Structure 1
Amino acid sequence: MEDRWLSVDEIGEYLGIKRDTVYKWISEKGMPAHKVGRLWKFKKDEVDGWVRKGSADLSGDSN
């Protein structure tokens, strides 16, 4: 069950960021997310790879 889809709140908690920052990163920084109906869902391994690439630059973001 470790490979399940995570919600906006769960990925925010995992990364230590606020829910608003998650939405901002989806739209402005290309955070890997999948729209399922009206909800955004995330695969932890995709987000981890995106962070490792340096795409989640925290400078200038308010958490």
Structure 2
Amino acid sequence: MLRGLSVNGSPAMTVREVAAYLNVDEKTVYRLTTRGRLPGFKVAGAWRFKREDIDEWIERQKGAAAKTHSRS
């Protein structure tokens, strides 16, 4: 188990933690990550995520959604 892994001083998040944070299924996290849409990296074959990268991704999604709605 890779408990305690940190990136720039903050703990790296697991797929399960990201899924809970985003309120989605773990399969959705895997799918978005393997398609290059969600930022993550592998450590010993397991996906890990930086919290700040996930927060930035959320903000970009909000911006994209706002642009889509403003065109309607």
RMSD of aligned alpha carbons: 2.5
Correspondent of 1:44 among 42, 51, 57: 51
The two structures have a TM-score, normalised by structure 2, of 0.67
Q: Which amino acid aligns with 1:33?
A: G
**Gap runs ≥5 in structure 2:** 1-5, 66-72
Query: Is the helix fraction higher in 1 or 2?
Result: 2
| 1:8 maps onto 2:32 in alignment | no
Q: Distance in 1 between matches of 2:24 and 2:37?
A: 16
1:23 aligns with 2:30: yes
For structure 1, list consecutive stretches of 5 or more residues without a partner in the other structure.
58-63
Instruction: Name the larger-Rg structure.
Output: 2
TM-score (norm 1): 0.76
Give the strand-richer structure, 1 or 2: 2
Separation of aligned partners in 1, 2:33 and 2:27: 10
One-letter code aligned to 2:52 = D
Deviations along 1:20-53, one digit per CA (max 9) or x if unpaired, are 0001111235200010011000111101101111
